[in-house]
Amino acid sequence: MKSFTLLSFSLCMAILSFAQDKAPIAEDDYYEVFSLRTDTLHVLENDFAYNEHPFKLLQVLPPMHGKIDWDDSLIYLTPNMHFKGADSLKYRILDLENNLMSEMATIYLEVENKSFDTLNTNNIRCRINACGVQFWDMDDVNMFEAPANSGVNAIFSQSLWMGAFDQDDVLHVAGDTYRWGADFFPGPKLDPINYNSEYDINWNRVWMLHQSDIDFHRSHWQDAGYEMIENISEWPAAIVPSYAPFYDMDGDENYMPENGDFPLIKGDQAIYFIFNDDRDEHTQTDGVKLGMEIHAMYYAYNRPADSTLNNTIFASYKIINKSENDYHDYYIGFYNDFDIGCPWDDYVGTDTILNSMYGYNATPIDCSNQYAENYGSLPPAISVTALNFDISSTITFQGWGLVPTTDPQIDTEYYNYLKAIWRDSTHLSYGEQGYGGTGPINFIYPGNPATGAGWSEVSENNEIGDRRGLLSAGPYNLNAGESIELEFALVFARAYTGLNLPNLNSVELLKERIAEIHSFYNESLGEDEIQLPKIEVEIYPNPFSDFITIKSEINSQNHSYSVFNILGEEVVSGTVQNNNQSQINLKKLNKGIYFIRVSDGGNFVTRKIIKN
């Protein structure tokens, strides 16, 4: 937090003598503040009243994105959880002797906030939030922009739902929609004694990394003067190793990036965060807490030549049961508010073969709307595609209309929807809009809208409108301490050609792309495993006293070694003469920690060594 005087005080002093009944002067102020942190604003320090009259705060108008409290001389400001950027508040002061008040002064704020960041490495640009509700700012603006920088969005929001029975058959439910209430909170599940404002500030955070940031760290961590970026030095594994995946270069099971350890991410760019359903009571579903901690990563590939990968966002959710309960009939759902540009003319569907629920425009030309940019004559389609699990049900419900098919109000209704059961406990059924149809079914609109085969919104000629949907998986058993990892993709397709109506051409292209994403995912399983140098080296003894031996199978003219101190300065180097086993004299080094790098001219390995 910084503040400075905008107008010279001495100039004001010069005109003091003319002013028996002049109003006091409140000068503008400037502060850098931080989301959720309460700062004291000493705004009167650059203000004055004439003739050294005493003065006090008279009126304070709050900022757009924060809460305030104030007394005669100080303002206490707490910026909102989800806002970042410029904001301002206003105040005036009162001369306590002549009772005149000042003009309004402005306090300009720059609000810093690490609770969200943007995936922007390919044709989709989206906002990722630490609290678990994705793509919108919890206020009015959403970002799942496709194509990137077009100003047009394909999804409004996404959030996690879950429900299960414990060993005593008590139902536990968590689920967010639009943050009217909240069931999920940023941060790990801890002993409640640790849930305080400091925890809230520290964990209201995401970590964004490019693979290139990590590559840079891997090749420069030993360089003198190297300063690693904050998201590498403060990767959550630095707090608790199990909080985030990392490569343990020195094998000590702790995340020490200064020793060459590095974060493990998927894709070319990733945003990582931790959230839980334990921090507070559930005010969205009113459900009983499950005690889950979720480690989530959204990631993307920058592949301009591959229009499928370049139009896909991936997500990975590792859900850890940190409670003492053994859960059964555990269902997990992803709630998606598809908004294909203009939200008032959309449809949804399910493709059970492709493990996907998708949204598409009901009409060949996207509607226009004062709030949202539209896609015009070539509306796209977008899916949520389960990658490493089978979907067990899909359903859509509305904010209005036939009561049993509207938004859930209480925990049992959220749990019903996770199992494709309406609010009144009747099951989703085949035909019309899935209520009162011809027999129970687990998936809504599984027909093909492009060909007209089966049950779809096109076959029913449904009224167009705003659509959202829930894609669920289960039932699972999840005992205390166990975890489950679910991965899905958000696949986007906008067809520019085709034999059908443009909106349905996009559905067909979407299905082709989903199939490609399934192949990519299945083929690349394991391929994302970190590519470590392929040279095998043994270095011993370690700790050592005077000599160390390098043993390897390298047959190269350029087989060399370098020894670095903990400041990254090279202290010894040379070529390895005998390729199989070479003893190096390190008598001249002081006792302490060093790193030895052995290279074959291309690859290298680095090991920590200790001189006793």
Q: Pick out residues in 514-573 that bind Ca ion (CB under 5 A).
A: none
Q: Which stretch binds Ca ion (CB under 5 A): 338-346, 417-425, 559-567, 586-594?
A: 338-346
The interface region with Ca ion, picked from 51-59, 95-103, 245-253, 433-441 by CB under 5 A, is 245-253
**Are 327 and 319 contacting, i.e. CB atoms less than 8 angstroms apart?**
no
For 375, how many CA atoms within 13 A lie in the half-sphere containing its CB?
A: 34
Q: Report, in Å, the least distance between residue 237 CB and Ca ion.
A: 9
- Whether residue 475 is preceded by a cis peptide bond, meaning omega within 30 degrees of 0, is yes
Indicate whether 340 belongs to the interface with Ca ion (CB under 5 A): yes
Q: Which of 54, 56, 31, 29 is nearest to 43 (CA)?
A: 29
CA separation, residue 343 to residues 133, 156, 242, 559 (Å): 19, 9, 41, 62
Applying CB under 5 A, does 248 fall inside the site for Ca ion? yes
Is residue 341 a contact point for Ca ion (CB under 5 A)? Answer: yes
Q: How far is the CB of 495 from Ca ion (least distance, A)?
A: 15
Q: Which stretch binds Ca ion (CB under 5 A): 21-29, 437-445, 529-537, 554-562?
A: 21-29
Coil, strand, or helix at residue 215? Answer: helix
Burial class from Cβ neighbours inside 10 Å (0-12, 13-18, 19+) for residue 29 reads buried
Smallest distance, Å, CB 185 to Ca ion? 25
Residue from 213, 345, 508, 600 that binds Ca ion (CB under 5 A)?
Answer: 345
Which one of 113, 123, 157, 361 is in contact with Ca ion (CB under 5 A)? 361
Contact between 166 and 353 (Cβ < 8 Å) = no
Which of these ranges, 10-18, 202-210, 366-374, 509-517, lies near Ca ion under the rule CB under 5 A?
366-374
Which of residues 346, 411, 413, 487 is near Ca ion by CB under 5 A? 346
Beta strands in 147-266, from DSSP E residues, in sequence order: 155-165, 171-175, 185-186, 207-210, 246-247, 262-263
Q: What is the DSSP letter of 560?
A: E
Q: Which residue is nearest to Ca ion (CB)?
A: 340
Task: Pick left, alpha or beta for residue 147 (phi over 0 → left; psi -120 to 50 → alpha; otherwise beta).
Answer: beta
The label of the residue with tokens 């005493």 reads 54
Q: List the one residue out of 242, 288, 240, 297 whose CA is nearest residue 268.
A: 297
For residues 249 and 265, which CB has a smaller minimum distance to Ca ion in the complex? 249
Question: Does 260 sit near Ca ion (CB under 5 A)?
Answer: no
| Region of 235-243, 246-254, 288-296, 602-610 interacting with Ca ion (CB under 5 A) | 246-254
Least distance between Ca ion and beta carbon 544 (Å): 20
How far, in Å, CA of 300 to CA of 117, rounded? 14
Rule CB under 5 A: say whether 508 interacts with Ca ion: no
* Alpha-helix residue ranges (DSSP H) falling in 55-132: none
Binding region for Ca ion (CB under 5 A) out of 282-290, 309-317, 340-348, 511-519: 340-348
Among 14-22, 280-288, 323-331, 459-467, the segment contacting Ca ion (CB under 5 A): 459-467
The two structure tokens encoding residue 279: 């921090």
Q: The tokens 């640790």 sit on which residue?
A: 194
Closest separation in Å from C-beta 199 to Ca ion: 25
Which member of 252, 258, 463, 536 binds Ca ion (CB under 5 A)?
252
Q: Work out whether 337 is an interface residue with Ca ion (CB under 5 A).
A: yes
Looking at beta carbons only, is 145 or 339 nearer to Ca ion? 339
Residue 466 binds Ca ion, judged by CB under 5 A: yes
Tell me the per-residue interface mask from 409 to 448 with Ca ion, x by CB under 5 A, - otherwise.
----------------------------------------
Cis peptide before 364 (omega within 30 of 0): no
Candidates 43-51, 192-200, 216-224, 301-309 — which segment interacts with Ca ion by CB under 5 A?
Answer: 43-51
Q: Is 43 in the site for Ca ion (CB under 5 A)?
A: yes
Contacts of 80 (CB under 8 A, 6+ apart): 35, 36, 65, 66, 67
We find the least distance from the C-beta atom of residue 384 to Ca ion, in angstroms, to be 13
CA separation, residue 371 to residues 25, 27, 244, 449 (Å): 41, 37, 38, 28
The residue among 105 and 354 lying less far from Ca ion, judged by its C-beta, is 105
Strand partners, 583: 549
Sole binder of Ca ion in the list 343, 380, 447, 475 (CB under 5 A): 343
3-state secondary structure at position 523 = helix
Least distance to Ca ion, CB of residue 372, Å: 8
Per CB under 5 A, which region of 46-54, 66-74, 79-87, 216-224 contacts Ca ion? Answer: 46-54
595, burial (CB in 10 Å: exposed 0-12, middle 13-18, buried 19+): buried
- Contact in structure between 244 and 237 (CB atoms under 8 Å): yes
Decide: is 256 part of the binding site for Ca ion (CB under 5 A): yes
H, E, C per residue of 447-475: CCCCCCCCCCCCCCCCCCECCCEEEEEEE
**Which CB, 254 or 459, lies closer to Ca ion?**
254
Q: Where are the alpha helices (DSSP H) in 255-356?
A: none
Supply the minimum distance, in Å, between the C-beta of residue 547 and Ca ion: 26
Task: Between 395 and 478, name the residue whose CB sits nearer to Ca ion.
Answer: 395
Cis peptide before 257 (omega within 30 of 0): no
Q: In the chain, what is the straight-line distance between the N-terminal and C-terminal CA atoms, in Å?
A: 46
Q: For residue 457, state whether it binds Ca ion (rule: CB under 5 A).
A: no
Q: Interface with Ca ion includes 342 (CB under 5 A)?
A: yes
Q: Which residues would be at the binding site for Ca ion (CB under 5 A)?
A: 27, 29, 43, 46-47, 248, 250, 252, 254, 256, 261, 337, 339-343, 345-346, 361, 366, 466-468
